[in-house]
Structure 1
Amino acid sequence: MEWTRGHVLGRGSSATVFAATSTSGDVFAVKSAHFAHSENLKKEQKFLSILKSPYVVSYKGCDITREGNNIIYNIFMDYMSGGSIMDSISVRNGGALSNLEIANYTRQIVKGLEYIHSCGVVHCDIKGTNILVEEKGVKIGDLGCAKWANQASQIHGTPMFMAPEVAQGQEQGFPADIWALGCTMIEMATGDLPWSNVDDPVSLLYKIAFCNEIPNIPNELCDQGKDFLSKCFVRDPRQRWTAKQLLNHPYIHQQFDDNNSNQTIYKKPINTSTSSPTSVLDQDVWNYIDQEEVPNSSSTLLCIERSSSSSLKIKQRIKQLASSKKSIMSKLECEKEESEKWVTIRMNE
């Protein structure tokens, strides 16, 4: 089979997503990474190949190609022509969704999470840029950070969407996805990121981990929406509502028709690419912390001054993790993405 690589749809921390067409005219998305750096992409391929749900991006296969001097690992998925939720919001003048739209999208995300969790999988990086839009609604995408619930592994994800227990380096289970769902609802309601009032990544992670605070619940949400968010933002993961419980919440317990797009903010295809930085928190980043010494204060936490050398190391590490990473696909990407130039790829026999 031959296929043609098109324009860039999005960039992650370790791979890039392109539009593509087959010789038969089928349109799909291809996510690519240099083979030497494709560990996360191979992991995503394994999860996508076993997850079959209308609320999770569909897997269509994988391949290895040689492009110039590069060996590239590719996985094929649904082409979600509306881009991500954040793409859809960005083309709006107001920059946010209505309560009905948020409820409809949230319902579909929760159904996707309930299915993923029932399979024993934790997504670990739920956020607006990983929720993809099509004419019928939304699907969960980007499982590059996913893990089995019973698997011990490094902490993954985007710091601003991390639950308190994740920021503390304790655990990253199903409840962490629910906290991140709440953060994604804030994005949909405001067009802005959660914790938008905190700029410094070091302060942010300490605030999430050790302050008895939650992100600001938007006034734009109706009362039922605010109550739904309060179930997502329970700081104790054991008390946080599960996806199965949230499916019965009145905010999303409405008669939505998944085959009807009347309540969906579907937009024309997005040609601009998006950046979605994801990071990995080393477990030992937090091991030096004696939590009893962390002050119980709502003020910005910069309480890592007990050891100047250790403090500097930790600060630098967290800032590296919280910052955008340059895509390892930079050599692959066309410098003139706007030109709509297509490249034919010869697949392996």
Structure 2
Amino acid sequence: MELSSDICGSDKLEVGKPSGEPEVGKPSGTEKKQNYVSQSAVALRCRVMPPPCIINPYLKESGVVDADPLGNQRSKSIAAGLLPKISSGDGLSRYRTDFHEIEQIGYGNFSRVFKALKRVDGCMYAVKHSANQLLQDNDRRRALMEAQALAAIGSHQNIVGYYSSWFENEQLYIQMELCDSSLSIHRSSLSWTEGEVLEVLHQIAKALQFIHEQGIAHLDVKPDNIYVKKGIYKLGDFGCATLLDGSLPIEEGDARYMPQEILNDKYEHLDKVDIFSLGAAIYELVRRTPLPVSGPQFLNLREGKIPLLPGHSLQFQSLLKAMVDPDPVRRPSARELVENPIFDKSGSTGRIV
């Protein structure tokens, strides 16, 4: 077996006898059989030096790391080899080689999400990639930290699954579990019963308990980032995730779901920020209209003032008010939410399928 002379410009692999030895029973000079070799295999053969490894700051076993894991002495490595340009003029692309893109299913200021069929296993995935090339160090860091957080968190039923990530053409690609829809789609289209709302609250509280126990805060809990798959609610989009100890940069999410202390740049209780955001998201489901971005209602929510909710029990309303308490210390923890007796009494089975 031997590679053709210009392996980086060809996707063919020659299979046969070593050069100069004719095959038995056939005259010399007969062309050797040409077999197809995937473009990803060619790309691997062409890459002489692999990119450097990166410390994942979200992993406890990684030891002590700088708050800026990609700065200082690593900046040159980033420019030189950390973000290799895999897609070039010859058309090599891991995304295009491994996936068949079906349709765009989401977008934001910095990224796009596509439904894609993986050619090898025949399964559908959500593939998120940067909307623009990540040419600045800050942009690379911001994008990379989402992939690192997802990888460090690991598998949980109520968190969108993470499979792989890679850089290509100065863009970050993240392969994730494909869900049916986001909760925001159902926000105004359904009349939520208390049992259905409690189902969402309980499952996402379990997701928050899981990440908080690993020392990670989400900081962008909202209906847009809560997904549904076969009746199971899953927390996704960890683009603002940070460490509870404050050793990583803080980038708060949607201001409509942020408590006052975050808006005042007070970061002592980041886990309780997630509790407030979940409470605000649940309140939005109950009112069936988006939360305001300013005005009296915006201020009232940050002061823990929620009007009476007809059709909902006083126990539920008391829990909701506790979650949006202006004092983060008085808000329940994620574990306390999960263990709240309201879930034992609700008997909630209502789920979106």
TM more than 0.5: yes
Structure 1 residues 115 and 217, CA, compared in 2 at 3 Å: closer, same or farther?
A: farther
In 2, Cα distance between equivalents of 1:231 and 1:213: 8
1:215 positional shift: 4.4
1:254 positional shift: 5.1
Alignment length (residue pairs): 248
1:149 positional shift: 0.5
Output the TM-score relative to the length of structure 2.
0.64
In 2, Cα distance between equivalents of 1:117 and 1:29: 25
2:168 alignment partner, one of 51, 60, 65: 65
Listed one character per residue, the Cα deviations across residues 170-214 of structure 1 (whole Å, up to 9, x for unaligned) are: 1151011000011010122122233x3x645xx8877666xx453
Larger radius of gyration: 2
Give 1:1-349 correspondences, 5 Å limit.
2-23=98-119, 24-33=121-130, 34-36=132-134, 37-51=139-153, 52-66=155-169, 71-81=170-180, 83-90=181-188, 92=189, 95-152=190-247, 153-171=249-267, 173-194=270-291, 196=292, 199=294, 212-216=303-307, 218-253=309-344, 263-266=350-353
Amino-acid identity (%): 22
Aligned residues of 2:306 and 2:321 also touching (Cα < 8 A): no
Structure 1 residues 41 and 155, CA, compared in 2 at 3 Å: closer, same or farther?
A: closer
Listed one character per residue, the Cα deviations across residues 140-164 of structure 1 (whole Å, up to 9, x for unaligned) are: 0000001001125334111111112
Larger relative contact order (CA 8 Å, sep ≥ 6):
1
Output the TM-score relative to the length of structure 1.
0.65
| Residue type at the aligned position of 1:141 | G
In 2, Cα distance between equivalents of 1:14 and 1:79: 19
| Residue type at the aligned position of 1:50 | A
In 2, Cα distance between equivalents of 1:101 and 1:255: 10
Structure 2: unaligned runs, 5 residues or longer:
1-96
Listed one character per residue, the Cα deviations across residues 319-342 of structure 1 (whole Å, up to 9, x for unaligned) are: xxxxxxxxxxxxxxxxxxxxxxxx
| Residue type at the aligned position of 1:225 | F
Aligned residues of 1:126 and 1:181 also touching (Cα < 8 A): yes
Aligned residues of 1:186 and 1:217 also touching (Cα < 8 A): no
Secondary structure at 1:157 match in 2 = coil
Secondary structure at 2:330 match in 1 = coil
| Residue type at the aligned position of 1:39 | R
Aligned residues of 2:323 and 2:332 also touching (Cα < 8 A): yes
In 1, Cα distance between equivalents of 2:242 and 2:161: 18
In 1, Cα distance between equivalents of 2:307 and 2:246: 32
Listed one character per residue, the Cα deviations across residues 87-130 of structure 1 (whole Å, up to 9, x for unaligned) are: 1234x2xx442111111111000000011100000100100100
Structure 1: unaligned runs, 5 residues or longer:
267-349
2:38 aligns to what?
none
1:13 positional shift: 2.7
Listed one character per residue, the Cα deviations across residues 238-285 of structure 1 (whole Å, up to 9, x for unaligned) are: 11111111112232235879xxxx62122xxxxxxxxxxxxxxxxxxx
Structure 1 residues 208 and 104, CA, compared in 2 at 3 Å: closer, same or farther?
A: closer
